[in-house]
Structure 1
Amino acid sequence: MIPSADLVARIRSASGDTQEGLARRLAVSYPTINAWERGRSEPTARHRATLEALAAELGIVHEFAVMVIDDDPVTAELVEAAAAEFDGAVTVHSALNGWEGLVTCGAVRPGLLFLDIMMPGIDGLEVARRLPTIPGLDDMRVVFVTASQSPEILSRAAALGNAVLGKPVDLDDLARVIRDTMDESSRR
């Protein structure tokens, strides 16, 4: 789901409306639109539904956010290549370490996380243990990506995540995971 501030900005851009014009269209005050667009407040469920309907009329694609936390930038490049199949409906964010990844996950609230296990500093298993403390990530799917063959590590990863992919990762497997997660997310 596109955050409300981004959704309002995209609707205004696609429709050519000013904040005042969009306010009239939605029968709300100008300060309300301003607050939504600046992220200072959120629309009610009824207004959000109206914004969603307007976005659909304007052909605004709902982006699906994917996060990659891996100290090897090649993994993020592969995920970006797999995401290209979805014609701009998928945005990929990446972090090169666990700490940066946790912060970015909290800010982006992705629907899918590809998480490396073996990283310097805080490893992927520790990142996965800390994720539940971040609000808004309850529905995020965690897929570990690892070169490890250790049964103990793979078992711990399976207990903390939704799936484990071996490195080197296959582009088709990444695209399949993204597609399946998007489909599952749209059914919720």
Structure 2
Amino acid sequence: MLTTSELVSRIRGANGDTQEGLARRLGVSYPTINSWERGRSEPHPARRRELEDLAESLGIRAELSVLVIDDDPVTSEIVRAATRHVDASVTVGAALDGWEGLVACGAQQPNLLFLDVMMPGIDGLEVARRLPAIEGLEKMRVVFVTASQSADVLNRAASLGHAVLNKPLEFDQLARVMTETLDAQD
């Protein structure tokens, strides 16, 4: 879900409205719109619903950018399929190895990274250790995916990421992680 500030800003951008114009459209004062857009106050729930309805009519939805780094291309297809269970606009990028994934992280700046632990070349654990060197990824959530049952591997992955999911991956599990990531953006 978009914050009120993001919602107002995106509505104004999509509509070409000034704060005054949006205030007239919604029947509120200019200072009210200004306060909402600057994050100084929140609208009454009925007004929030009005903003959400207007955003929906303009085609504005919450957005989530996901990157999958896994040497098995099936994983990214499963993640793409799971996006149908998420109430948001989700884009999914994919990289088939750790090096390509690091480059994609820098270019795409995803909100959520599904990262395979075991890959040839640079593995997921090493990718995770290198992520802090990439500017702009401070808020990105890292979720490891693995078929490994090794306690050592699972513990190391848990210490480097936000969660660890076991393969085979399930749609509900993936959708829950995506929804939690959207909720954390608020």
TM-score when scaled to structure 1?
0.69
Cα distance in 1 for partners of 2:146, 2:182 equals: 22
Q: Percent identity?
A: 59
Q: How many residues align?
A: 148
Secondary structure of the structure 1 residue equivalent to 2:153: helix
For 2:144, the aligned partner's letter is F
Cα distance in 1 for partners of 2:122, 2:76 equals: 18
For 2:107, the aligned partner's letter is A
C-alpha RMSD of the superposition: 2.7
Query: Which 4+ stretches in 1 moved above 3 angstroms?
Result: none
Q: What residue is the counterpart of 2:103 in the other structure?
A: 103
- Once the two structures are TM-superposed, the CA of residue 58 in structure 1 deviates from its matched residue by 2.7
For 2:77, the aligned partner's letter is E
Q: What residue is the counterpart of 1:147 in the other structure?
A: 147
Cα shift readout 1:131-188 (whole Å, capped 9, x = no counterpart): 00111111111110000111111111011011111111111100111111111112xx
- Once the two structures are TM-superposed, the CA of residue 88 in structure 1 deviates from its matched residue by 5.3
Cα distance in 2 for partners of 1:69, 1:128 equals: 11
Matched, 1:86 2:94: no
In structure 1, list runs of 5 or more residues that go unmatched. Answer: 2-6, 16-21, 27-45
Cα shift readout 1:47-78 (whole Å, capped 9, x = no counterpart): xx59xx9x947332232101110000111011
Secondary structure of the structure 2 residue equivalent to 1:136: coil
Higher relative contact order (CA 8 A, sep 6+): 2
In structure 2, list runs of 5 or more residues that go unmatched. Answer: 3-8, 19-33, 39-50
For 1:140, the aligned partner's letter is M
Q: What residue is the counterpart of 1:131 in the other structure?
A: 131
Matched, 1:67 2:76: no
Report if the CA contact (8 A) 2:129-2:160 is conserved. Answer: yes
Cα distance in 2 for partners of 1:167, 1:58 equals: 39
